[in-house]
Amino acid sequence: MRAGNMLLRSQLDCWSPRIKGARKTFDLKTRAVRPIRLDCRNYRDHASYELSSLRGLVDSFEREYWDMMRSAFLKYNFQVRIGNMAGIFLAYHNTAKIFGFEYVPLSDLDAALFGNSYYGAVAFDNSLKIVEGVLDQVRADFGTETPLSLFLHAKPGRSLEFFVAPRPDDPGWSDSDALDPKAILTPTRYTAKLTVLRDMEPVFGPLDLIPGQALDTFMSITRDETSRPSSIKAAFDALVDNMVVTEETKRSQRSTALSLSRRAASRKRRAGQGKGGARAKGKGKGKGQGKGQGKGQGKDPTRS
């Protein structure tokens, strides 16, 4: 997909003639249950957590779908749009067992994120314009010969802050040789202020958009030329620290995951005991009926 001066790629996983509409391709996604997402390093400890109902706060497909709406759906939506796909096909699992599959069309992704597909398309287009504006500024300042690292995050008040650092020693596409961000000593800082217009009127609060309304985003980028390098480095290190999950957070997530898995295991045991008791009761009832019926059938009802 070409968007302005950018060329974007999204892998196409599958094709099916049963999909309605002109687009027949879709993406495959696997979705691990909540405890495993919280504590993926110890996924074996959470094999007892299973999806057993359609709705509910835990153990349900509804909870998994709700979590995806708050996290993964945005990247799924953009990936589907970049690849001009029809939707995604989900597999819910706990790494040991698959509980079900669900096809989510792009229209459902849009409805969950934006309310309607018109707003979804406009949000996607404006997001690409922002990314293109950032990359154009970086290219103008640093050229295209030296590899660069770019770190970007949103700030309150419709603004962005991003840091750029040259990577002359870039090893290429290699996870094992990934650069430690803390090794960057002299990052360059930029601030971008965004102005959002809806039907040519500025929007300052929460944004809503209905079909037919126009949305335009304008961006003003400023390079930090006044702050001391040590101050910029400190701000950059703080951003990197916020990007890394701390050990305290990992411990908290593991505690939550273990609690969910233990409750699931307890519910499973109680359900098994209930079924076992019902079977035993049924067997006893059957024996009693069999004996009574046998005696009654063997006697002559006309004799006392």
pLDDT number for residue 300: 44
- Tokens 């959002």 belong to which residue? 196
pLDDT number for residue 283: 58
- H or E element, residue 195: strand 188-198
- The four Cα atoms 254, 70, 194, 166 give a dihedral, to 10 degrees, of 40
Beta-bridge mates of residue 14: 26
Please give the Cα distance from 32 to 17 (Å, whole number).
28
Query: Would you say 85 and 25 are in contact if contact means Cβ atoms under 8 Å apart?
Result: yes
Q: Helical H runs in the chain?
A: 34-38, 61-70, 72-82, 106-113, 117-142, 229-243, 247-298
pLDDT number for residue 288: 47
* Predicted model pTM: 0.82
The count of other CB atoms within 10 Å of the CB of residue 117 is: 16
For 226, the token pair is 């006044």
Identify the burial level of 225 via C-beta atoms within 10 angstroms of its C-beta, where 0-12 means exposed, 13-18 middle and 19 or more buried. exposed
pLDDT by residue for the chain (304 residues), tens digit each?
Answer: 999 889 999 988 999 999 999 999 999 999 999 999 999 999 999 998 999 999 999 899 999 999 999 999 999 999 999 999 999 999 999 999 999 999 999 999 999 999 999 999 999 999 999 999 999 999 999 998 888 999 999 998 899 999 999 988 776 666 555 677 888 889 999 999 999 999 999 998 888 898 999 999 999 999 999 999 999 999 999 998 888 888 899 999 999 999 999 988 888 888 877 766 556 555 555 544 544 444 444 444 334 3
